[in-house]
Structure 1
Amino acid sequence: MLIPFLIMLREGIEAALIVGIVAGYLQKSGRSSLMPAVWVGVLLAAALSLFVGAGLQLFAAEFPQKQQELFEGLVGLVAVVLLTSMVFWMRKAARSIKGQLHASIDQALAHTGGQAWALIGMVFLAVAREGLESVFFLLAVFQQSKGWEAPAGALAGVAVAVAIGYGLYSGSLRLDLRRFFRLTGMFILLVAAGLLSGVLRKLHEAGVWNHLQQVVFDASGTLPIDSPVGAVLSGLLGYQATPVLGEVLVYLAFLVCSLFFFLRPMQARPTLQQAAES
């Protein structure tokens, strides 16, 4: 439940921040009458995300067992790529996201004959990116967690993100967004490492990958995966009681490389916190 909550909280705050910047710019430039177009773009992006998620889920249900394992592995791989790219994109774009959005709005509003449609398209593309990232991640998580906890955590994350987004827009809430995205970014990379090792496991079960299958250690006697602690570690970090060599190598290689580049200092520029407050 914690992982879907935190991921959807982060994705929701990113989307809320985008909508808040657009709404603030329209208000300051005297174009508040175009706000309905913003909400239409948001609703269309949400509808597309739900449609894609439901379609993929129904599509996977028709597969035989091995093909379903392969499909789940591919969904997990896409989730890893999207989560990782999202973390690094926000790390880089946080310093210029406000200026980029303002430029996109100005470009959309330059179409004198269809400003509303252009604004709908701009907001739709910006928010749909966050929604589709969330879809693939949630599919990968729901395939591993069959109970109600994961969907409940995701919905709770969205609800809290909406409340925080409204607080940021109204000025009633101050949040250190730079620190928030940094901490959640490191957590997401840990989650992505666990997903990637799980992808290798799915590919093996599908008969696609049969190398490096030597068991590295067996902790099933001391920390079984179905124990309370084992279940938490499995959900958070992709823990396996009997991991094989390939899974361990993939996990460590991804984690070391991604954290190295993520934590590497960048040149000082205006931060996301400054952009949100200005």
Structure 2
Amino acid sequence: MHDRYGNDVLAGDWKRPPRGRSREVEAVRDLVVEDVATGWVGAVVAVEKAGGKHVVHLEDAQGKVRAFPLGGGFWMDGQPVRLVAPKADPAPRRPERTASGSRAVEAAPARVAVGSRIFVEGKHDAELVEKVWGDDLRVEGVVVEMLDGVDDLRGVIEDFRPTADRRMGVLVDHLVPGTKEWRVVEEARRTPRYARHVRIVGHPYVDVWQSVRPERLGLEQWPVIPKGQSWKHGILAHLGWPHSSQADVARGWQRILASVDDYTHLEPELLGRVEELIDFVTVGDLPLG
């Protein structure tokens, strides 16, 4: 039916501001808003309680920071908003798997170290093993030690005196037939008194750096560094990273290590060898034979 008197001008939201009503928005970090009263535009850098009131700190494009009362009086993308304190993050969920892919043992304390050990060539090897297999090794009570090279591997074995209850696993870099490392390992294996309680394995890479999948660093493959040139310095130069000093090498390695989150970021040639050593030093007594 036609309304001869027309629409009620007071019907609906006739008091609605031209830009619309404010909506609540959490003042999360880096959210960009404008304070209507002052025209200050900035990104949220902090929310805190001061003088019994919540305030939000906004940093402008020049890096200057000002504090404003939390609440209404802000625009975001040209629309009015009312800033509220961000909700507290829920307690992080405990991962069901460790970085190595093993099932995580909830609230498991580190076990008192057992006699068995896994030896690796250097600091970078040890840090990579710790990052991926550290949780597993702590549950088993197995300590990783550094060899600082394998030139005297046979002497290290004889000093350690491995037994059935004190086994020794060794991870060697660049274990390829015909290399110096290959000859050292072959000699070390000729220690019949301890051979049964020692497992020496290796990966084919010049350095443990290469066991990180190259795509983690934006590479299609690891570059070939000419002989006579420092391999690590050459890699850093190829990546465009500082490479003039040992401090640069250390920082470069930390960047590479930071790119590894779990076992899926490592090459299988390393994964299999480390898992083999962990199995060897944590199983029960070896059968007689």
TM-score of the aligned structures, taking structure 2 as reference length = 0.21
Higher-Rg member (1/2): 2
Higher relative contact order, chain-length normalized (CA < 8 Å, sep 6+): 1
TM-score of the aligned structures, taking structure 1 as reference length = 0.22
Give 1 or 2: higher strand fraction. Answer: 2
